[in-house]
Structure 1
Amino acid sequence: MSFARVLVPLDGSQVAENALDHARRMAKASGGELYLLYVLSSLNHNGDSHIDPLDWQLQQARAKRYLDRHAERLSAEGLTVSQHIDEGDPAAQILEFAKRHAIDLIVFSAYGRGDASRFRFGGTVQKAVRGTQTSILIVRPGPAGAVASEQGYRRVLVPLDGSYRAEWAACEVVSLLRSPQTELILLQIIVTPNELPSMRLSGDMAALKERLVAEQLRMGQRYLETVCRRMQSCVKVGTRLVRARSAAKEIVRTAERENVDLVALSAHGGSDESIWELGSVADAVASHCDRPVLIFQDLPTTQPGVSHDDCAHRDLTGLYRPA
């Protein structure tokens, strides 16, 4: 997957501009075109559609000057930039624009002009993220959401679950961010669900459970080593094997513990949730991680033939289940 067309929605706020540097780097890395979109709301401050024509023209002029300023700076860096002003509901217009222009990646700031609230996303971003079938990159305000250096993303966390989709996302990261400065951290999570509070395992059952987990850890380590060997000729690769009760929570914790600059994962991974734009793990990570989260959209599924042995191997190692 090449991000030939990268879209970043802007609303004139400094908070929304947090996404701009990430969009610029993604467009540069893939040699793609950068689209700047400013959506003017068709409602006035009172919530109705009666807008003074003069005020409307002033809003359009301000939006154009704003986009011109950013486009001029980005074009000076050698990027191909186009700027667009639309009118209507911001979330709906972002989705319609992405579809109309065959956008490959939408880079969102988690919040826009409304700034942070008790919700994990701003209202516009929440609706757009839940409604798109395009790959997305979500950036949160603050130091953890900034691009670490001029060299770009130095440490990238990629969760694996043994599925084709997750491995495909890892390969896409390698292809996109191939650099001597980039370290890829492959994370395999062995999920051990909570037992019911009233359940007490007998000695034999408890020992059987521990043997099963030990075997899963052994197979998980072998799986990570196999994937690592395939990728280490392109980038620096490290592996982490963790036993945890929640895959999504462990991804967020590992991202903070390893101080990564980016978390990258497939939208669905091993879960068969193709009817949803985002799988539950990807949704939870995007909602709670303070690091930039790149989610590769994997709909529709196009998966090569897999042998019985491969399926069995994935059954043993693909334990990345939703919390």
Structure 2
Amino acid sequence: MYRTILVPLDGSERAEAIIPHVENLAQHEHAKVVLTQVIEPVSRSFVLDPDAPPKYKFDTSGADTAKAYLARWQKKFELQGINAETLLMWGPTVESIIHAANEAKADLIAVTSQGRSGLAQVFYGSVASGLLNRVRRPLLLVRPNTRPITADNRHILAPMDGSKRSEAILPHVEGVAKLYDAEVTLLRVVVTLNQNVAYDNIEAEFEAKEVHGHLLNRLGESQEVERFSKAREHILVQRNKLRQKGLNVEALLMHGRPVDGIVRTAENIQADLIALTSQGHTGLAQVFYGSVASGVMNQIERPLLLVKPN
């Protein structure tokens, strides 16, 4: 499924936190790993033509160090039987990583959400955010202190929101689950005015008495029952489709704040990987669902697979 994995590094131990996850995936996928580091410009200037690209100036003194650094990691990968290449890029970080992904024909970009210490933490975090907003390829994101995957991915959590866009994650979930023979949990969190998250009985049809009264007062009994029923139906349909493909799949239904529901469920089931799309419903909800992905990334120390729907 992932034949070429691009791994941006910056020379820091924080950025290297992604390495164990890449090693594990590459060995299972027999994938090629492309290690890249970006030499950032020290300054840039603009010509009078506003449509002309800016001209960058670089400090080339660190280029040899960067090449040697990438070569050391390449050798470490090759000693494990993993095909690895290196790619040194010059330019703004996010643009250079995207260019490297295109040049390497990467199927996946794997990166930590923070790099060097101090102010560069914020910058490297913004690199992950920039990739999340601009790249079309799947992203594997980890926080620097995320526990390394030293065993197989045994349990994948896949949150969905009922939209076609959120279903874009399912082929990736299916592929990884088959690769690791993993259990899959599909999760639907119905957004409610109640900030507290709680699980609902997914096996039973919804009736008026099962929906919390304070919601009925505000939105109407029939509307809430219909909304929960549609959410239940959608997640069960997706569960059954994956089961028909031979996967071990369960489905959970919750209500409350999506980020809280995802984080709680990931901890409860000890998910080895959380897989979701970076955008859900159309319109303003795209921004909201994107914030769900960002919220999960900021709150949980588990690998996150993000896919941007076409």
TM-score > 0.5, shorter chain as reference:
yes
Identify if the C-alpha distance between structure 1 residues 221 and 203 changes in structure 2 by more than 3 Å, giving closer, same or farther: closer
The offset of 1:19, in angstroms, is: 0.9
Q: Match of 2:84, SS?
A: strand
Aligned to 2:165: 165
Identify if the C-alpha distance between structure 1 residues 67 and 282 changes in structure 2 by more than 3 Å, giving closer, same or farther: same
Aligned to 1:241: 253
Aligned to 2:150: 149
Aligned to 2:239: 228
The offset of 1:218, in angstroms, is: 3.9
Give CA-to-partner distance per residue, 1:211-269, whole Å, 9 cap, x none. Answer: 5434433443343333223223533222211011x223322332233331211012223
The offset of 1:279, in angstroms, is: 3.1
Flag structure 1 segments of 5+ consecutive residues without an equivalent: 196-201, 300-323
Aligned to 1:286: 297
Aligned to 2:198: none
Q: Is the 8 A contact 1:3 1:105 kept in 2?
A: yes
Aligned to 1:306: none
Give CA-to-partner distance per residue, 1:110-155, whole Å, 9 cap, x none. Answer: 111236888596243333433323221110022xx2234322x222
Q: Determine the C-alpha separation between the residues in 1 that align with 2:121 and 2:81.
A: 39
The offset of 1:22, in angstroms, is: 1.9
Higher mean Cα deviation, 257-266 or 10-19? 257-266
The offset of 1:209, in angstroms, is: 3.0
Q: Is the 8 A contact 1:7 1:23 kept in 2?
A: no
Q: How does 1:243-322 map to 2 (within 5 A)?
A: 243-244=255-256, 246-272=257-283, 279-299=290-310
Q: Is the 8 A contact 2:87 2:100 kept in 1?
A: no
1:295 is aligned with what amino acid? L
Q: Determine the C-alpha separation between the residues in 2 that align with 1:121 and 1:247.
A: 26
Q: Structure 1 vs Structure 2: percent identity of aligned residues? A: 25
Higher mean Cα deviation, 234-243 or 59-68? 59-68
Aligned to 2:109: 106
Q: Is the 8 A contact 2:169 2:307 kept in 1?
A: yes
Q: Determine the C-alpha separation between the residues in 2 that align with 1:235 and 1:148.
A: 21
Q: Determine the C-alpha separation between the residues in 1 that align with 2:250 and 2:214.
A: 37
TM-score, with normalisation over the residues of structure 2? 0.76
Q: Determine the C-alpha separation between the residues in 2 that align with 1:180 and 1:4.
A: 16
Matched, 1:174 2:174: yes
Q: Match of 2:42, SS?
A: coil
Question: Match for 2:77 among 74, 85, 89?
Answer: 74
Q: Match of 1:64, SS?
A: helix
Q: Determine the C-alpha separation between the residues in 2 that align with 1:228 and 1:238.
A: 7
Q: Is the 8 A contact 1:166 1:266 kept in 2?
A: yes
Q: Is the 8 A contact 2:159 2:276 kept in 1?
A: yes
Q: Is the 8 A contact 2:114 2:121 kept in 1?
A: no
The offset of 1:179, in angstroms, is: 4.9
Aligned to 2:220: 209
Q: Determine the C-alpha separation between the residues in 1 that align with 2:217 and 2:108.
A: 47
TM-score, with normalisation over the residues of structure 1? 0.73
Aligned to 2:5: 6
Aligned to 2:95: 92
Identify if the C-alpha distance between structure 1 residues 205 and 88 changes in structure 2 by more than 3 Å, giving closer, same or farther: closer
